[in-house]
Amino acid sequence: MAMETILAYPTRKHASATRAAATGLLHVEPNQAEVCPGPILTARQVAVTVLRDLLPPGVDVLWFSEFSALTEPLGMNERALRTTLFRLAQQGVVQGIRIGKRSAYRLAIAPDWQRSPDKEAAWSGAWCVAIRLRGRAPPARRAACEANLVAAGFRPVAAGVLLRPQFGACPVHAILERHRMQDATLVLTAEQPPTPGNRSVLDMVSDCWQLGPLMSDYQELSRRCEEFLACPMSNHLSGGAEGEFVKGALLLHEWQTLLSRDPALPAQLLPAQWPKEQAAALIGELRSRVAQGAFVRGVLAPARNRRPPSSGAGLSG
């Protein structure tokens, strides 16, 4: 399987190195890292971030030329973009549209922030408990099953015992079946809602789900978003609209990274003043500013009167 292209946070000073990133890891000099702190992005993440977060209202499809112009400041050249879009189309993440000799792309599914959120059901205080029975399965299969359970929101609270709030759809039986662990695992339902004055459940949740670091990261992201929103466009990094676009894209990607780490626990199990809601509001403001900013408007302006349609014939790459 081909290694995925890795791209680092670029600046105009390092433009030539950025273009070289299409075939491997982009080296970030220490002085660049100080000026432009940020995560390392894969080509897939760059492409999805642009389609998901960086298009203004009413635009959900990009001509390839527009896509290339928006991803170039983030470290992608045309060759890397074509390869990435081909793979994403094969995986059903994006849809390709062929119009004459031109190609356009959009996300296959509307971004989460554009969809109406489901009404959150109240948590009843029930827990799903998975108890591994000794000697019933090979160690490798047990480890793989436990890793999948952890990815689905379970956490180990004792040797061979994993716990998850019974909240929304619980995939435990599907995971056990996939790993042939049905006969090696006992699944029970328990009930112990947190009560005022009793911190045992909340303390256990904070420890097992490691909410402290996630809480700090949400607060840090909020601080950086506030700095971004308070900063005039001309002061952003390499200057002007493109610098604002790049920094905003990196912050939006960091938000998605935090969401992937968030166990999405019921509100009753979260610490007081959980900072996710504040971070989400700031990210919404940031997304609107960047997507409607001068850099994006400048890229999209030439095709204002001939935008690609929102749907079309499927394209393999």
- For residue 35, what pLDDT is reported? 32
Structure tokens at 138: 């090979």
Q: Is the CB of residue 307 less than 8 Å from the CB of residue 55?
A: no
- For residue 272, what pLDDT is reported? 86
- For residue 19, what pLDDT is reported? 32
pLDDT tens, N- to C-terminus, the chain (317 residues): 444 444 444 434 333 333 333 223 233 333 333 334 445 688 999 999 999 999 999 899 999 999 999 999 998 999 999 999 999 999 999 999 998 889 999 998 866 655 545 556 678 889 999 999 987 788 899 999 999 999 888 999 999 999 999 887 788 999 999 999 999 999 999 988 777 766 788 889 999 999 999 999 999 999 999 999 998 765 555 568 899 999 999 999 999 999 988 988 988 899 889 999 999 999 999 999 999 999 999 999 987 778 887 654 444 44
Q: Is the CB of residue 196 less than 8 Å from the CB of residue 129?
A: no
Q: Is the CB of residue 166 less than 8 Å from the CB of residue 127?
A: yes
Structure tokens at 221: 């992201």
Cα separation, 205 vs 143, in Å, equals 22
Q: Is the CB of residue 225 less than 8 Å from the CB of residue 260?
A: no
**Measuring CA to CA, which residue among 76, 107, 74 is closest to residue 244?**
74
Helix ranges, the chain (H): 15-20, 30-35, 43-53, 64-71, 78-90, 139-151, 172-178, 200-208, 211-230, 240-261, 276-291, 294-300
- For residue 118, what pLDDT is reported? 52
Cα separation, 40 vs 75, in Å, equals 10
- For residue 239, what pLDDT is reported? 63
> Which are the contacts of 22, defined by CB distance < 8 A and separation ≥ 6?
5, 43, 76, 77, 79, 80
Tell me how far apart the terminal alpha carbons of the chain are, to the nearest angstrom. Answer: 18
**How much is the pTM?**
0.77
Task: Determine the angle formed by the axes of helices 240-261 and 211-230, rounding to 10 degrees.
Answer: 160
